[in-house]
Amino acid sequence: MGKIVAASQNKHKIKEIEEITKEFGMFIVPRDEAGVPDVEIVEDGETFETNSYKKAYEVMRLCGEITIADDSGLEVDYLDGDPGVRSARFAGEDTDDKRNNEKLLSLLEGVPMEKRSGRFVSVITIVYPDGTNVVARGEVEGHIAFEESGNNGFGYDPLFIPLGYDKTFGNFTPENKNKISHRANALVKLRKLLIDKDAEYIKTQEIK
């Protein structure tokens, strides 16, 4: 696969993605290094799939290279799936991780652990210059903690306790998080889809 341009400008996401994709021979190039103009891509879709595709397609159109995009977020069952696609902007357009976490905790105040279930979702899309695309969705189930814990990761990591564990992602090492995270699960599925895509391409060439 070689070089892929990252549609995201989130350095945390890019680092997590490449830590996993490099095992598959996929190396991420930040969009600024690929000569992509510093334009804002409005994430106005109602699903992770829509936003992921839009980001990948728009950046591919600007650079003409294979492009990868991730759209991810946290779904909390007690909040009917919120913050969902608005995870990064949960506390407002001009916000940060701290304020997003504070808002989430305030909305779950007094809610017992058994009702604090939810999941991290990641949808990763690769768009090729010919317009074809590959999409993979990954999830990890868990619960929302009563308070922030841990200094690792980013976003809602200090609040999310994955099923089967008694600590938040904020207390995981990057290596351990990348073994079970929603993004890791999406990338494992993506790898299989890419292998199948390459196999189908080879088969097509043999038939010609």
**Start-to-end CA span in the chain (Å):** 23
- Is 198 known to be catalytic? no
In angstroms, how far is CA 162 from the centroid of its own chain? Answer: 16
Angle at Cα 13 formed by Cα 162 and Cα 11, nearest 5°? 140
Other Cβ atoms closer than 10 A to 188: 13
Which residue out of 32, 38, 71, 97 is catalytically annotated? 71
- State the sign of the Cα–Cα–Cα–Cα dihedral 201, 202, 204, 208: positive
Q: Which of 150, 181, 138, 178 is nearest to 163 (CA)?
A: 181
Buried b / exposed e over 73-93, threshold 16 CB at 10 Å, is bbbbeebeebbbbebbebbee
Q: Which residues are catalytic?
A: 71
